[in-house]
């Protein structure tokens, strides 16, 4: 009996062991645990449910648990969204199950490709964080395949040691203010404090980007993000450029531009999705772009400039650390087709302060600067270097250096405020002008005052520019309230191709950008002097006195009396409230070329005098002009000139660079002499004893633009009393 009982017990034990072995090694398929799994999930969240097929059971002897595995289940969210799964495996604690406690120890879940929106919905029913709403707005579409390894505590909550991995394909993200990111795909591994993304591919604005990695780490309350980004050569758009540059780009043409870039970045992301502590290192290459800009002033210096600059092989190195932005770059630029020039630059922006340094190679550019009478032909090596900084509306150009062979121009500490010069420490000129004359000058600041010292200076172009400029323009307006005394000492000054002055000395006192006092003296030779004096009186009248024993260098301003030879010049002027009254006197000169006058003489049949214009010229003993200036308008009260051959009286007006309008009388000297000698016999003078004797000269009008003057003449028989009176005054004076 006992033996039988023992046999039965042993058989049962063997059967149990075999069953245990079978369950542990082979497992069994059953649906009896389906309700258990469903209940455990619903206990976790009532909005979740699962559709299970048959479940395969394995006995885990080591952990005293049952391992459950099911194929192709479906996770149901809020009875509306589904997540299709490939497999779920889980360990159920036998002890917890028998004690009617939460028995699932872990779940290993492998999903099929599902819409990301469904996973967001799953996450949303498990958390009330507001970020999930923003995430749902950003993610427009896409699929995800997920492997989730979840461990549960005794109360059924997911432990923090969870692991998620998988891949995302064909996703689309909507970024506020930008076009959507499309065709996004990547692999990922996620733990509680670490998110690793790799093999990232996406399309932004029809440009394909890729990233080897993107790592996100939870640190305290923020997330630390680091990664890289690159793209192969693609066409570019202004949206992409605006990511790197904030300035207005409307003048740039990117229609033919292709670019490639590589970037590394890191930053902290707060819970409110605010980026802080951004670090960015980026290399950006643009093959070609065009700057279209109508800059008329640049044409004054670069003749070939046609409102277009083509930029090629643009290489940018961008670095951003702790609000400090650094840009290093180089570009080829073409003002003329196939004529290459190069410039390099370094820009640093730290908060509101910008520091910059640039080097421009100007070797293949025809360059001219009329203000300093300088010109450089192409194919001559030339380099311009500029180093400075800018803060708000203040700019400091620490050093400007231009070098072309032995020609050098340098400036130090040029300060600009509100687009005007506030101070300058030093500027040095050492170069040959267009006239092959050496400009060798130094302007040096001493506290608030300056010294302009030099060996030689070519002033020919300066005189021409001053003569052509509007009288209401003030050169010193380029300064920001200049109040200084300037000492002048220059050994040799060139006025034109044949005239030079020596030992120029004097001073210039400026208050509030206006000349308060000026006194300059020099000489052509020991017997020929020249001086200029300007003084501001107490009643705010500005008195100007100028004298030169040589007139020729200074008469270029008056286009209708060109071609002076010999003579001296006296100029006096009084200016108040931007209106000036002036008197110009020139003595003992002759004129070689007066096209308008030649036409007058020819039309009046005064051929003998006209012939003089092709020879030695017409000599004048006196020339006097009284006029006033207001703005760009010169009103000529009287021009009177008398000489052995002819006399002229004129009046009219000249509007700078627009129109000249003159009228007057021209009379041969023989007629004048005869008229004056016969004043008592007025009837004979007016009628004449012989045919033609009563024709005294011509009245004329000259009118039109400066380069297209029209002349009309009429013979006159009677001279005006004013003409006769002025002639008598001159004869008596002489």
What is the per-residue DSSP string for 453-521? EEEEEE-HHHHHHHHHS-TT--GGGGBSS--EEEEEEEEEEE-SSS-EEEEEEEEEEEETTEEEEEEEE
Q: How many Å apart are CA 341 and CA 357, to the nearest integer? A: 17
The single-letter DSSP state of residue 159 is: P
Q: What is the mean pLDDT of residues 180-186?
A: 90
Give tens-digit pLDDT for 234-251: 887 666 666 655 555 677
Angle at 624 between CA 730 and CA 600, to 5 degrees: 95
User: Which of the 8 DSSP states describes residue 157?
Assistant: P
**255 has pLDDT over 50:** yes
Report whether pLDDT(708) > 60.
yes
Residue 389 clears pLDDT 80, i.e. is over it: yes
DSSP β-ladder status, 353-361 and 367-369: unpaired
CA atoms within 13 A on the CB side of 500: 15
Average pLDDT over residues 79-84: 82
**Alpha-carbon torsion, ordered 662, 665, 668, 671, to 10 deg:** 180
| Residues 415 and 395 sit within 8 Å (Cβ to Cβ) | yes
Indicate if the pLDDT at residue 671 is higher than 80.
no
Q: What is the 3-state secondary structure (H, E, C) of 180-220?
A: CEEEEEEEEEEECCEEEEEEEEEEECCEEEEEEEEEEEEEC
Number of H helices, E strands in the chain: 13, 42
From residue 583, alpha-carbon distances to 183, 545, 558, 641 in Å are 82, 10, 13, 14
Which stretch of 81-90, 347-356, 469-478, 598-607 has the lowest confidence by average pLDDT? 598-607
Flag whether pLDDT at 536 surpasses 90.
no
Residue 591 burial (CB count, 10 A): 22
Residue 295: what pLDDT? 77
Q: State the pLDDT confidence band at 731, using cuts at 50, 70 and 90.
A: low
Residue 335 to residue 310: CA distance in whole angstroms: 7
Task: State the average pLDDT for the chain.
Answer: 80
For the record, the structure tokens of 290 come out as: 């065009």
587/235 Cα distance (integer angstroms): 72
CA distances to 210, 224, 233, 598 from 230, rounded to whole Å, are 5, 20, 10, 76
Question: Which residues in 193-221 are b (16+ Cβ under 10 Å) and which e?
Answer: eebbbeebebbbbebebebeebebeeeee
For residues 31 and 563, the model is more confident at 31
Residue 507 pLDDT more than 50?
yes
Q: How many CA atoms lie within 13 A of 265 on its CB side?
A: 22
> Are the beta carbons of 207 and 179 closer than 8 angstroms?
no
For residue 455, the model assigns a pLDDT of: 95
pLDDT for 605-638, tens place per residue? 444 444 444 455 566 778 888 999 888 888 999 8
432: enclosing H helix or E strand: strand 420-432
Q: Where are the domains of the chain?
A: 1-30, 31-173, 589-733
Question: Residue 718: which pLDDT band, with cuts at 50, 70 and 90?
Answer: low
pLDDT recorded at residue 253: 81
Task: Give me the residue label for tokens 């509101």.
Answer: 352
- Lowest-pLDDT choice from 20-29, 186-195, 324-333: 20-29
Which of the two residues, 678 and 40, has the higher pLDDT score? 40
Distance CA 95, CA 484 (A): 99
Report, as an integer, the average pLDDT of 284-290.
88
Residue (of 545, 580, 559, 596) closest to 698 by Cα position = 596
- What count of Cα atoms within 13 Å lies in the side-chain half-sphere of residue 608? 6
Token output for 421: 């010069």
């Amino acid at each position: 009996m006992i033996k039988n009982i023992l046999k039965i017990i042993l058989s049962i034990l063997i059967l149990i062991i075999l069953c245990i072995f079978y369950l542990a090694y082979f497992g069994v398929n059953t649906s009896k645990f389906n309700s258990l799994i469903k209940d455990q999930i619903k206990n976790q969240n009532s909005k979740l449910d699962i559709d299970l097929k048959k479940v395969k059971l394995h006995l885990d002897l080591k952990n005293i648990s049952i391992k459950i595995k099911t194929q192709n289940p479906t996770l149901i969210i809020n009875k509306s969204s589904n997540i299709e799964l490939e497999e779920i495996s889980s360990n159920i604690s036998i002890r917890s199950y028998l004690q009617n406690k939460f028995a699932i120890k872990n779940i290993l879940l492998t999903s099929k490709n599902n819409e990301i929106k469904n996973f967001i919905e799953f996450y949303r029913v498990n958390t009330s964080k507001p970020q999930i709403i923003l995430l749902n707005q950003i993610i427009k579409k896409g699929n995800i395949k997920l492997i989730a390894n979840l461990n549960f505590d005794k109360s059924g909550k997911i432990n923090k040691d969870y692991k998620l991995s998988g891949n995302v394909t064909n996703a689309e993200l909507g970024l506020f203010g930008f076009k959507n990111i499309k065709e996004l795909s990547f692999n990922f591994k996620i733990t509680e404090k670490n998110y690793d993304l790799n093999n990232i591919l996406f399309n932004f604005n029809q440009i394909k980007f890729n990233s080897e990695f993107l790592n996100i780490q939870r640190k305290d309350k923020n997330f630390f993000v680091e990664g890289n980004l690159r793209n192969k050569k693609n066409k570019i758009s202004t949206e992409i450029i605006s990511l790197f540059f904030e300035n207005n780009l409307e003048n740039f043409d990117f229609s033919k531009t292709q670019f490639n870039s590589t970037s590394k970045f890191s930053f902290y992301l707060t819970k409110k999705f605010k980026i802080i502590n951004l670090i960015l290192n980026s290399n950006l290459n643009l093959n070609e772009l065009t700057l279209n800009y109508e800059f008329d002033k640049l044409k004054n210096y670069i003749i070939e400039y046609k409102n277009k600059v083509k930029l090629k092989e643009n290489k940018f190195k961008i670095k951003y650390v702790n609000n400090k932005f650094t840009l290093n770059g180089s570009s080829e630029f073409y003002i003329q087709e196939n004529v290459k020039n190069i410039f390099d630059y370094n820009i640093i922006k730290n908060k509101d302060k910008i520091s910059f340094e640039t080097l421009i190679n100007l070797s293949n550019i025809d360059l001219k600067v009329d203000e300093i009478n300088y010109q450089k032909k192409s194919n001559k090596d030339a380099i311009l270097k500029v180093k400075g900084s800018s803060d708000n509306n203040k700019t400091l150009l620490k050093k400007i250096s231009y070098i072309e062979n032995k020609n050098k121009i340098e400036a130090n500490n040029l300060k600009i405020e509100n687009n005007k010069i506030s101070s300058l420490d030093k500027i040095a000129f050492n170069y040959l002008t267009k006239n092959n004359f050496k400009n060798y000058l130094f302007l040096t600041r001493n506290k608030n005052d300056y010294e302009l010292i030099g060996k030689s200076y070519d002033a020919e172009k300066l005189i021409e520019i001053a003569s052509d400029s509007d009288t209401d323009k003030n050169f010193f307006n380029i300064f920001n309230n200049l109040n200084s005394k300037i000492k002048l000492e220059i050994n040799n000054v060139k006025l034109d191709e044949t005239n030079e002055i020596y030992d120029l000395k004097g001073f210039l006192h400026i208050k509030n950008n206006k000349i308060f006092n000026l006194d300059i003296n020099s000489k052509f030779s020991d017997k020929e002097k020249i001086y200029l004096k300007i003084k501001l009186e107490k009643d705010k009248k500005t008195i100007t006195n100028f004298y030169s024993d040589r007139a020729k260098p200074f008469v270029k301003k008056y286009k209708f009396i060109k071609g002076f030879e010999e003579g001296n010049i006296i100029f006096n002027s009084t200016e108040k409230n931007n209106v000036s009254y002036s008197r110009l006197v020139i003595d003992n000169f002759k004129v070689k070329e007066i096209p308008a006058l030649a036409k007058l003489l020819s039309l009046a049949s005064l051929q003998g005098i006209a012939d003089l214009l092709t020879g030695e010229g017409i000599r004048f003993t006196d020339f006097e002009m009284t006029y006033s200036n207001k703005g760009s308008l010169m009103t000529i009260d009287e021009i009177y000139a008398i000489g052995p051959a002819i006399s002229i009286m004129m009046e009219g007006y000249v509007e700078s660079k627009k129109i000249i309008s003159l009228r007057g009388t021209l009379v041969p000297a023989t007629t004048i002499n005869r008229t004056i000698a016969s004043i008592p016999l007025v009837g004979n003078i007016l009628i004449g004893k012989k045919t033609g004797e009563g024709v005294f000269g011509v009245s004329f009008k000259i009118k039109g633009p400066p380069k297209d003057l029209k002349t009309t003449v009429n013979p006159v028989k009677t001279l005006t009393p004013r003409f006769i009176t002025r002639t008598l005054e001159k004869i008596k004076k002489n």
